[in-house]
Amino acid sequence: MATNRLFNKSSLQNSKKESLTLKERLAALGNLPEFFKMVWQTSPRMTISNLFLRIARSATPLAMLYVGKLIIDQVILFSKTPQQHDLTYLWELIALEFALAICSDLLSRAISLLDSLLGDLFSKHTSVQIMEHAATLDLDQFEDSIFYDKLERARQQTVGRTILLSQVMSQLQDLITMGFLAAGLIVFNPWLILLLFVAILPSFLGESYFNDQSYALTRGQTPERRELDYLRFLGASDETAKEIKIFNLSGFVIDRFSLLSDRFYKANKRLAVQRSAWGVFFALLGTAGYYGAYVVIILDAVSGKVTIGELTFLAGSFRQLRTLLEGILTRFTAVSQGAIYLRDFFEFFEIMPKITTADKPIPFPKTIQTGFTFEDVGFRYLNSERWANRHLSFTLFPGEKLALVGENGAGKTTLVKLLARLYDPTEGRILLDGIDLKAYDLADLRMNLGIIFQDYIRYQMSFSQNIAVGNIKEKENESLIKSAAHQSLADQLAEKLPGQYDQMLGKRFSEGVELSGGEWQKVALARAYMKDAQLLILDEPTAALDARAEYEVFQRFSELTHGKSAVLISHRFSTVRMADRILVLEKGELVEIGSHQQLLDKNGRYAELFNLQAMGYR
């Protein structure tokens, strides 16, 4: 229901609000210089060659028409004086026209080759830029739907931008060609140019109007298009197939998909039909204009004001001019449309991360001295009224193993995200060795944290790459990968796989092997050991492991993390009790902190939770 409402409101209202005037379209062309700068950066050589070839190609239509005129006049001259037959000049003209035709053909082919190569390079260049910029942005920016829409538009329009590139180039070429042809026509009859504009202007305005409508519709539909993409993914993906079958959800997903698609179809169809009907009318006007001019030229020829050669030259120029002008005007709306979409693209690059490295960052300490101190830290997620963490004050000492305990939603994961500066506190401060965490180099900080979240990614990559992502710089370091696998017990698994460390994991690519939940977890856990991190954070690292594996993992964990700090989040008290201290969270606040024994003696919240779980085993 919520999305139904969304669809009606955003698509239809936005289509009014976001409609564009001709002035706005012209203003959008202001985005083109920046666009050209990006094209130029992609490949200066190809850009300049493309431009030169197009200028050369622009001159050929006029040259061919003019040579054609000379040939016809020459032939007519011969037909009037059959005795004098020195054909040398005529043959030269024919050879020239032939050469021009070949030249024009070669130039066209070279241009389309360069267009497609430059387009591919440009598309790669912009996709890389989008990925690079997205990587600098904050996590909460990804959780903001307006931002997400911008990212989607910037990403989806990669093809559009490639098309825009060749459209802009063709537009330039056609404008130059038109300049040449118009110059030829003006010499004979300047009024014909005026007639041409009058005949074509309505068609241009019509195109422009319908492009506005189509842009508004597409832009207004972005949230629904995202939903459609999501439904498409739900309905046909290896990740979702299991639940879709078990819960028999395919009908539900398909119905929702069909409902949204039908609405798109209806909204788009209405516009397409109107556009087509008006298009026919405008085309008729253009044709009438052309024949009007044709009659004028024929009358001039009949009265002897122009020769037959000039008649063909003028009629040919006029016909080509009309086609060119129509193309230019139609393309103008498409180009300005593309230029408007560029605004989304540039706006995406204008979004700046808030979580950044200070101007003069402090390097991460070689050895942590006093630890991480939370000073009345509070955090609220974007657009959320509730505090996920509040009034947190405690110190994680160097070398200490701290366990975080609390019911679902108590704020445990949020706390470790603050430690990794995935978010900054809304209030209070986190200090490292007495200095605000924000003063440290961000990359350095993250390099010194080995962190595995509960919703780690199952990369559809090889076994060893799945471990190497923990420190991708070491992706070729086989012995490090193997030792990390040993720490997390993943090494035993690798030995059983047909491809061992090179085994492709997951089902998406050929010869991939799917792992069990616990096996995936061992692989993910190995990522934490890829760095010589000073603080290890494991967010429910063993939830999917069996009891024996969990015991072994923690034996190795304490050996490996000797002298290092660690934060463990777990709902299993058998794991939690191994920690030096346990921090109990409730509704985001710290309610108890102490060792397992201290907290049991205290007989408070921890003791209650512990006894509750212990009862389950009795």
Ligand X SMILES: Nc1ncnc2c1ncn2[C@@H]1O[C@H](COP(=O)(O)OP(=O)(O)OP(=O)(O)O)[C@@H](O)[C@H]1O
The residues of the shown chain that bind ligand X, judged by CB under 6 A, are: 143, 381, 384, 388, 406, 408-414
Pick between residue 56 and residue 137 the one whose CB is nearest to ligand X.
137
Pick between residue 11 and residue 570 the one whose CB is nearest to ligand X.
570
Pick between residue 140 and residue 552 the one whose CB is nearest to ligand X.
140
Beta carbons within 8 Å of 250's beta carbon, 6+ residues apart:
235, 244
Cα dihedral across residues 324, 327, 328, 329: positive or negative: positive
In the complex, minimum distance from the CB of residue 342 to ligand X, in angstroms, rounded to a whole number:
31
Cα dihedral across residues 137, 142, 143, 149: positive or negative: positive
Query: Contact, 336 vs 29, CB < 8 A?
Result: yes
Pick between residue 406 and residue 425 the one whose CB is nearest to ligand X.
406
In the complex, minimum distance from the CB of residue 612 to ligand X, in angstroms, rounded to a whole number:
15
- The 3-state DSSP class for residue 377 equals strand
In the complex, minimum distance from the CB of residue 588 to ligand X, in angstroms, rounded to a whole number:
7
Pick between residue 141 and residue 413 the one whose CB is nearest to ligand X.
413
Pick between residue 414 and residue 565 the one whose CB is nearest to ligand X.
414
In the complex, minimum distance from the CB of residue 388 to ligand X, in angstroms, rounded to a whole number:
4
**Integer CA distances (angstroms), 333 to 15, 161, 203, 323, in order:** 17, 15, 11, 16
Phi, then psi, of 429 in degrees rounded to 5: -140, 155
Distance CA 225, CA 220 (A): 10
Q: How many CB atoms lie within 10 A of CB 356?
A: 14
Cα dihedral across residues 138, 139, 140, 142: positive or negative: positive
In the complex, minimum distance from the CB of residue 608 to ligand X, in angstroms, rounded to a whole number:
17
Pick between residue 289 and residue 406 the one whose CB is nearest to ligand X.
406
Q: Per-residue DSSP letters for 23-57?
A: HHHHHHGGGHHHHHHHHHHH-HHHHHHHHHHHHHH
In the complex, minimum distance from the CB of residue 355 to ligand X, in angstroms, rounded to a whole number:
14
Pick between residue 145 and residue 384 the one whose CB is nearest to ligand X.
384
In the complex, minimum distance from the CB of residue 425 to ligand X, in angstroms, rounded to a whole number:
14
In the complex, minimum distance from the CB of residue 384 to ligand X, in angstroms, rounded to a whole number:
5
Kindly state the DSSP code that residue 361 receives in the 8-state scheme. P
Query: Of the candidates 517, 513, 563, which has an alpha carbon nearest to the alpha carbon of residue 541?
Result: 517
